[in-house]
Chains A and B, each alone.
Chain A
Amino acid sequence: GEDVEQSLFLSVREGDSSVINCTYTDSSSTYLYWYKQEPGAGLQLLTYIFSNMDMKQDQRLTVLLNKKDKHLSLRIADTQTGDSAIYFCAESIGNYGQNFVFGPGTRLSVLP
């Protein structure tokens, strides 16, 4: 079945760039997403990319999509302590893209 995989932990220094990687299995995915989950807070959509795009940039966030390798990455420039959270990669599948498959999440720790 469909599967989304991520490394579970990432630790970076404040001010450095963070790169969170994700692989997925369903080649029919129409959209791929990055969500952020902070302690005690709900999931928040950070950004998403349509499957026919290679890259999307949004302020400090850069998403790269390699559709051939089914690899998605999220780069956070100038990482701040407020970026510490769990980041989930997700793909939408199904006839209308209605079924979302999430990865296990990468816990990003930003060290001062």
Chain B
Amino acid sequence: GAGVSQTPSNKVTEKGKYVELRCDPISGHTALYWYRQSLGQGPEFLIYFQGTGAADDSGLPNDRFFAVRPEGSVSTLKIQRTERGDSAVYLCASSLGAGGGHEQFFGPGTRLTVL
């Protein structure tokens, strides 16, 4: 079956612009996660959705970052007034249920470059 997909695969934008990154989780997965991975580092947790609600957004670095999942399936990560330091690979993952006992399936990521 289809895995987690993310679009676009690459996004180049200018400092100060607004971007949206999309994640399509595996069908039926209620839990959805966003991570950010900078070069040479491990993924950094941003936000976790259980269904439509953001159950844990403690990893969002500041109020320029926002994510939604209005129908409990597709999610969009939104970054306002992008900065060069936002350049990274943004990873999405989904799992059947909440919490650590459920395997997270990762998408291929969106590479964001802010010039």
What residues of chain A have their CB less than 8 Å away from a CB belonging to chain B? Answer: 4, 30-31, 41-45, 48, 50, 88, 90, 92, 94, 96-105
Tell whether, in the assembled complex, residue A104 and residue B58 are in contact, meaning their CB atoms are under 8 Å apart. no
- The answer to whether residues A104 and B42 also contact, given A42-B107, A98-B56 and a CB cut-off of 8 A, is yes
For residue A100, which residue of chain B has the nearest CB? B45
B90 contact set on A, CB distance < 8 A: none
Tell me, in angstroms, the Cα distance from A105 to B43 when the chains sit together. Answer: 9
Tell me, in angstroms, the Cα distance from A33 to B14 when the chains sit together. Answer: 37
Tell me, in angstroms, the Cα distance from A99 to B104 when the chains sit together. Answer: 12
- Shortest CB–CB separation between residue A15 and chain B, in angstroms? 28
Tell me, in angstroms, the Cα distance from A105 to B37 when the chains sit together. Answer: 11
Tell whether, in the assembled complex, residue A104 and residue B41 are in contact, meaning their CB atoms are under 8 Å apart. yes
For residue B40, which residue of chain A has the nearest CB? A104
For residue B50, which residue of chain A has the nearest CB? A98
Tell whether, in the assembled complex, residue A102 and residue B106 are in contact, meaning their CB atoms are under 8 Å apart. no
Tell me, in angstroms, the Cα distance from A81 to B60 when the chains sit together. Answer: 37
Tell whether, in the assembled complex, residue A44 and residue B99 are in contact, meaning their CB atoms are under 8 Å apart. no
5 contacts between A and B (CB under 8 A): A42-B109, A92-B99, A94-B56, A98-B100, A99-B56
Tell whether, in the assembled complex, residue A97 and residue B109 are in contact, meaning their CB atoms are under 8 Å apart. no
Tell whether, in the assembled complex, residue B45 and residue A45 are in contact, meaning their CB atoms are under 8 Å apart. no
B28 close to A (CB within 8 Å): no
Tell whether, in the assembled complex, residue B99 and residue A90 are in contact, meaning their CB atoms are under 8 Å apart. no
B85 close to A (CB within 8 Å): no
- Shortest CB–CB separation between residue A74 and chain B, in angstroms? 15
A31 contact set on B, CB distance < 8 A: 100-101
A88 contact set on B, CB distance < 8 A: 42-43
- The answer to whether residues A96 and B42 also contact, given A41-B108, A42-B106, A42-B107 and a CB cut-off of 8 A, is no
A50 contact set on B, CB distance < 8 A: 101
Among A44, A50, A98, residue most surrounded by chain B Cβ atoms (within 10 Å):
A98
A-B pairs, top 9 by smallest CB distance, nearest first, are A97-B100, A92-B100, A102-B42, A31-B100, A96-B99, A97-B99, A43-B106, A42-B106, A98-B48
Tell whether, in the assembled complex, residue A99 and residue B58 are in contact, meaning their CB atoms are under 8 Å apart. yes
